[in-house]
Amino acid sequence: MYFDEIVKDVFQEINLLEGRGEVASYIPELRKVDPEKFGVYLSTIDNSGFGIGDCYEAFSIQSIAKVLSLSLAYRMLGEKIWERLGVEPSGTAFNSLVQLEVENGIPRNPFINAGALVISDILLTKLDHPKEEFLAFIRSLSNNSKINYSPRIATSEKNVGYRNVALCNLIKSFGNIENEPADVLDFYFNLCSLEVNCQELSNLFLFLANDGCTLSGRRVLGQSQAKRVKALMQTCGFYDESGEFSFKVGLPGKSGVGGGIVAVHPKQYAIAVWSPRLNHKGNSYKGMKFLEEFTTKSQLSIF
């Protein structure tokens, strides 16, 4: 299939839409991003790719990084990881405290903030040099040694991260955080600050399109583990709009409040979209529209 023609046609169509939504203003550094940026890159498992628009400009992936931290923790801990995390959609805001208290400090899934904090705690326990080793993992997935954290964005998030501080301390009070909350939060804010462009992001997620293996054949996750990570992306990857994305797009995916979305089609491709204007649920307005049209016109979804 000629993906490049479909990507180009849908991009041009969506680019004509009125720029609805707002950038994530509650994080000061994200407020500075040009809201009109729009880029798309598609990478296939036969090692081809096509990009358009602002696809080579780096942006903060924010919550998309939660899939990558989960993958590393899952690889290290195996099925024991689910003793500390649920696998159900939350149905509430990604930073909700209420549900966490009712459920005794066990986050509903790894992609809400509480779940990502537990994953961060696991990695702090398992890794000797967590930030350095997690970054090395990311670089090895993408075969790109230039990917890095953004100290500017991490500091910006830390300065306004009061609710995340509350979440981490609440989980700690239930005994589901082992390390010091300040250390867990520092790691969490850094992983959310990772900056990549659409090409790099789509390449990062090709291992999930390829049953847990990089294109060079290195196994990152077991086939069953990769399947479960994609299942969580399908059901929990878009905050409390996950059902809408599944209904309209039909692919496992993950969004971030930096305006990025990545989605994978098993045994086919990974596609990354970036447009910073967010809808009222915190997902990229144009990104959601693009992927809906793309799977409709390509007639390729998992359903």
303 belongs to a structural domain = no
pLDDT value of residue 98: 85
- CATH classification of the domain holding 148: 3.40.710.10
pLDDT value of residue 94: 66
153 belongs to a structural domain = yes
pLDDT value of residue 18: 84
The reply to whether 239 sits in an annotated binding site is yes
> What is the spatial distance between Cα 21 and Cα 138, in angstroms, rounded to a whole number?
30
99 belongs to a structural domain = yes
14 belongs to a structural domain = yes
34 belongs to a structural domain = yes
CB 280 within 8 A of CB 223: no
pLDDT value of residue 93: 66
The reply to whether 188 sits in an annotated binding site is yes
37 belongs to a structural domain = yes
pTM for this one? Answer: 0.96
Instruction: Measure CA of the first residue to CA of the last residue in the chain; give whole Å.
Output: 18
Spell out a b/e string for 131-144, using b for 16 or more CB atoms within 10 Å of the CB, else e: beebbebbeebbee
What are 121's two structure tokens?
């705690």
How many domains are contained in the chain? 1
pLDDT value of residue 189: 98
Cα-based distances in Å from 107 to 127, 167, 175, 180, 275: 22, 10, 12, 18, 29
CB 94 within 8 A of CB 110: no
pLDDT value of residue 146: 93
User: Where in the sequence is the domain holding 38, given as residue range(s)?
Assistant: 3-298
The reply to whether 41 sits in an annotated binding site is no
**pLDDT tens-digit profile, the chain (303 residues):** 579 999 999 999 999 998 889 999 889 999 999 999 999 999 999 999 999 999 999 999 999 999 999 999 999 999 999 999 999 998 766 667 888 888 999 999 999 999 999 999 999 999 999 999 999 999 999 889 999 999 999 999 999 999 999 999 999 999 999 999 999 999 999 999 999 999 999 999 999 999 999 999 999 999 999 999 999 999 999 988 999 999 999 999 999 999 999 999 999 999 999 999 999 999 999 999 999 999 999 988 876
Residue 52: strand pairing partners = 40
The reply to whether 257 sits in an annotated binding site is yes
74 belongs to a structural domain = yes
pLDDT value of residue 143: 87
CB 115 within 8 A of CB 107: yes
| DSSP E strands, 22-153 | 39-44, 49-53, 59-60
The reply to whether 63 sits in an annotated binding site is yes
